[in-house]
Structure 1
């Protein structure tokens, strides 16, 4: 997985009436009944076409078609994850699938808001409760997902024309090491050769053996809020599903949201409450997450995310310039996000070798791009501590 948030594009690749007609014809054949669209396709990723459809009895399902070259792996990962998590109860059931063209037919979980909409709202109490509910849902995924590694792996293998890495993050860390050397040069920050090579050691530094199936893209818009109980938030979008240490997902509350467009700052007390709820739930399966070794792992994932996402975001600024604003998906300024990533990395609690480099890079980004603090999510703006 690489950073792929696109706050501007909401149109699927090659989208058009013919694509929709073909998709519905294939889906209708799969389920054995004519399907008609209910409203226009969902806005969102340019990599997929997603539409709610109705059958001739009035029942509805959701059809998702995977587009472009990346669609091969996305289909294999999502279909395998949904199949493996059939007993979880907080992901859509896989109704049918097709490998050519690549698409899945999923249970329709209905309408509703997602966490990102709540964070962009004006109710701090609701945002705090929903954030905590999201954490409980992720914890439930981790507890269920730990049992399905073999089913997920075999499903991905069966649906892929070639080998697929269950955890691509080690490769991304290696890429980030070389990318940061390039970016430091661009920022006129002189650092010794090999400074960032330590990033490749991150996977071997985790102390607690606690891994599970993850959606990977654990963003605040990839869910559906039904209620705020332990099973009230459904998790969606498993295109990047993988197997990895659960600390990577928990760290989304600390960075926060490293791969997401809705990357506003979180009020500290709300984030801490959500993290406590996550830890209390997953501790039923991994008691070690309540100990100091997992404190270290959480810091490690937080700093590693800062270096990973920081390289993706800064490379976008260097190579393409600032992205156009999108009022539908308001996102913090990219320079501000890069500055936050580097300030997070500068703590050096888990990667002390890179603390000074992060501090120097942060100063350079602040100066060159007039970077500032990332604002709080709108829901936390009123009365939020400064």
Structure 2
């Protein structure tokens, strides 16, 4: 759920500004309202008496220790080598980071929700180019990132938590299939836990993980990646597949015009091939199919679980998103392609039919920019 300015605890805001001010050597005042975002964090633009501007991000939840460890470590490791905010200062108690202020700008979600197909396509390619830059730079900073996470963590941390999510999805899908009255043999979903072992190309790097179309800032011709609280080390194909699913962990999950997505993916492959030539070959084609279908199963389990459990569906006019049943249907139809996980294709098709019937699910519309600026 997104926070609004009225949700902000003024005592927490005052403490955050005071701590950040001590870190940068002078008092800070908030400029405008805190940025809308997750209840897990408080993000506010600040300015010191000299006029220098910073962005302060504080981690509020009980699990904030891990988000702080990941984000501070990623920003520290990437400073000067990737298009990310610069880590200016940090505090472990309370947990917060101070970053340089990149100013205002737009992001690909703005373009996708707009009415200009050419702009949306160009911004997609810009996103892909920026992600490729992160992968090339992040490939060199594994030791720094992992050491930073270890030093900042109060508890053990899995640097790559995606295998654990896939293993968990096995039992979740067994429960969801039963809820939809779709009979499956024992062990049907076990293959999901083996996905990390099936990739054929060894190409890993630091990833922001939540590579959504609004977790970045377009300034002039440069796209800067933001939000590293879920940062991890993993195969780069997981990020590339965001253009194929698309956007498995994001609210702005409208369908993409196929040619625009493929052009962006081609830009990404050409750029990272400087570091990993194998991404231009057939083995990486296989890995893309595998990551796409695995994302479909993983994100599909998250979305369908909310429907089955009767969780209220979020409505945010500022961040319009597709209907959740429609997203689940798209995930299952993607999984039903079965190019990389053929053993799950038939059950995906049966689950898709059940979702269509139970939740009146239909196709996820194209992003408005590809339909003349209207939701269709």
- Rounded to whole Å, the distance in 2 between the matches of 1:99 and 1:13 is 26
What are the superposed Cα offsets for residues 202-243 of structure 1, whole Å, 9 maximum, x if unpaired? 000000000000000000010001134xxx100000000000
- Rounded to whole Å, the distance in 2 between the matches of 1:293 and 1:132 is 23
Give the one of 19, 29, 45 matched to 2:12: 19
Q: How far has the Cα of 1:15 moved from its partner? A: 3.0
Give the one of 31, 39, 56 matched to 2:49: 56
Q: How far has the Cα of 1:320 moved from its partner? A: 2.7
Q: How far has the Cα of 1:383 moved from its partner? A: 10
Q: How does 1:361-380 map onto structure 2 within 5 Å?
A: 361-380=351-370
Q: How far has the Cα of 1:45 moved from its partner? A: 1.1
Q: How does 1:100-111 map onto structure 2 within 5 Å?
A: 100-111=93-104
Confirm whether residue 253 of structure 1 aligns to residue 246 of structure 2: no
Question: Any unmatched runs of 5+ in structure 2?
Answer: none
Confirm whether residue 211 of structure 1 aligns to residue 204 of structure 2: yes
Give the one of 144, 160, 172 matched to 2:165: 172
- Rounded to whole Å, the distance in 2 between the matches of 1:337 and 1:104 is 34
Q: How does 1:262-281 map onto structure 2 within 5 Å?
A: 262-281=252-271
Q: How far has the Cα of 1:77 moved from its partner? A: 0.1
- Rounded to whole Å, the distance in 2 between the matches of 1:14 and 1:267 is 37
Q: How far has the Cα of 1:193 moved from its partner? A: 0.9
Give the one of 255, 268, 288 matched to 2:278: 288
Instruction: Kindly indicate whether the alpha-carbon contact (under 8 Å) linking 2:246 and 2:255 is maintained by their aligned counterparts in 1.
Output: yes
Q: TM-score, normalised by structure 2?
A: 0.98
Equivalent in the alignment of 2:72: 79
Confirm whether residue 382 of structure 1 aligns to residue 372 of structure 2: yes
Q: How does 1:1-386 map onto structure 2 within 5 Å?
A: 6=1, 9-11=2-4, 15-228=8-221, 232-382=222-372
- Rounded to whole Å, the distance in 1 between the matches of 2:255 and 2:215 is 18
Equivalent in the alignment of 1:3: none
- Rounded to whole Å, the distance in 2 between the matches of 1:214 and 1:280 is 18
Q: RMSD between aligned alpha carbons?
A: 1.5
In the comparison of the two structures, how many residue pairs are matched? 375
- Rounded to whole Å, the distance in 2 between the matches of 1:134 and 1:335 is 27
Change (3 A) 1:321 1:162: closer
- Rounded to whole Å, the distance in 1 between the matches of 2:9 and 2:191 is 46
- Rounded to whole Å, the distance in 2 between the matches of 1:39 and 1:51 is 8
Instruction: Kindly indicate whether the alpha-carbon contact (under 8 Å) linking 2:114 and 2:373 is maintained by their aligned counterparts in 1.
Output: no
Change (3 A) 1:193 1:246: same
Change (3 A) 1:12 1:211: farther
- Rounded to whole Å, the distance in 2 between the matches of 1:383 and 1:106 is 35
- Rounded to whole Å, the distance in 2 between the matches of 1:12 and 1:97 is 24
- Rounded to whole Å, the distance in 2 between the matches of 1:350 and 1:12 is 45
- Rounded to whole Å, the distance in 2 between the matches of 1:11 and 1:154 is 35
Question: Any unmatched runs of 5+ in structure 1?
Answer: 1-5
